[in-house]
Amino acid sequence: MVKRPVKYCVVDAFTDAAFKGNPAAVCLLEKKEDQDEKWMQAVAAEFNMSETCYLTPISSTQSDANDHSVTRFHLRWFTPLVEVKLCGHGTLASAHFLFASSLARTDVIEFVTLSGVLIAKRVPTGSNVDTSKFSDGDPEEHFSIELDFPTIPVLECESADIPSLHETLNGAPVVNISKTAEAGGGEFDLYVELSSGKTVAYLQPQWEEIRKCPGRGVIVTGPAPDGSGFDFFSRFFCPKLGINEDPITGSIHCALVPYWSKKLGKCDLVAYQASPRGGVLELHLDETNQRVLIRGKAVTVMEGSLLA
């Protein structure tokens, strides 16, 4: 167990205003020996957020293949119940903490994770989408963060294998049922396309039935309303991870982006995750390297020290 005080902050990710987007706790550990998994899981349960992140410095800087300086950290993510293999909003929150606190003195951070090396890059603020209807207030910092994540294939799934899904989603009109090849922790997610983004936004699922579904969780998605400025809407239901709905989930867009890119015939997309807190993601599919670039903003809402 870690005995010394541990600095932490709470960051709202994929938003430019406090108390929107997806909150994550970010804890800064001094050395790898501080990574006591039992303690880390207990702290995550105490925070009771969709994700608690643990950063441990590897070295102050290192040069990448292009001879650019990068900052390197170990990064792990825990829900209130389990450690996960991949987390988008937790990575964004961790990068924002390092950039905003000047612990990262470069514009590129390499995170060594259970999903390999993930890159976060500080980029100038810019968006073609009017987000005023979804957030208010001024940005905390004048930069966005771009994450470089792997794609996750969407595979065919027999709807007969999940006969109760129609009732689970309270009769929502289902266009297609698929599943992801893999997800955090090595499990797949069910992938359900609905008839419209509006249906996605107003969906009220049966939580206990969601728990009975195969896989880790259920992704629901649909085309965005005309004139909204978005390409698609989504939501992610994951009661098995200790939270009924993850407000904004970067990692599910590793599957959503290739799916909608093929469906819409373009590689640059803007998505809205239509949870009650809501969040905006600017997205790009790198077809050659099978990578998804996920861009968003974040706001620090709390700072302190863990004393136990």
Question: In sequence order, which residues have a C-beta less than 8 Å from that of residue 61 and are 6 or more positions away?
Answer: 69, 70, 71, 72, 105, 106
Contacts 24+ apart (CB under 8 A), 265-272: 266/231, 269/231, 269/232, 270/127, 270/128, 270/129, 270/229, 270/230, 270/231, 271/224, 271/230, 271/231, 271/232, 271/233, 271/234, 272/134, 272/197, 272/224, 272/228, 272/230, 272/232, 272/233, 272/234
For residue 260 the two structure tokens come to: 């909608």
The answer to whether the beta carbons of residues 123 and 129 sit under 8 Å apart is no
**Residue 297 buriedness (CB in 10 A; 0-12 / 13-18 / 19+):** buried
Angstrom distance (rounded) from CA 34 to CA 138: 37
Q: Which of 51, 140, 193, 245 is catalytic?
A: 51
Please confirm, yes or no, whether 51 is among the known catalytic residues: yes
State the DSSP string of 213-268: SSSS-EEEEEEPPTTSS-SEEEEEE-GGGT-SEES--TTTHHHHHHHHHHHHT-SE
Give the rounded distance of the alpha carbon of 53 from its chain centre.
Answer: 12
Which residue blocks in the chain are alpha helix, DSSP H? 37-47, 88-100, 165-168, 197-202, 207-212, 253-264
* Residues marked as catalytic: 51
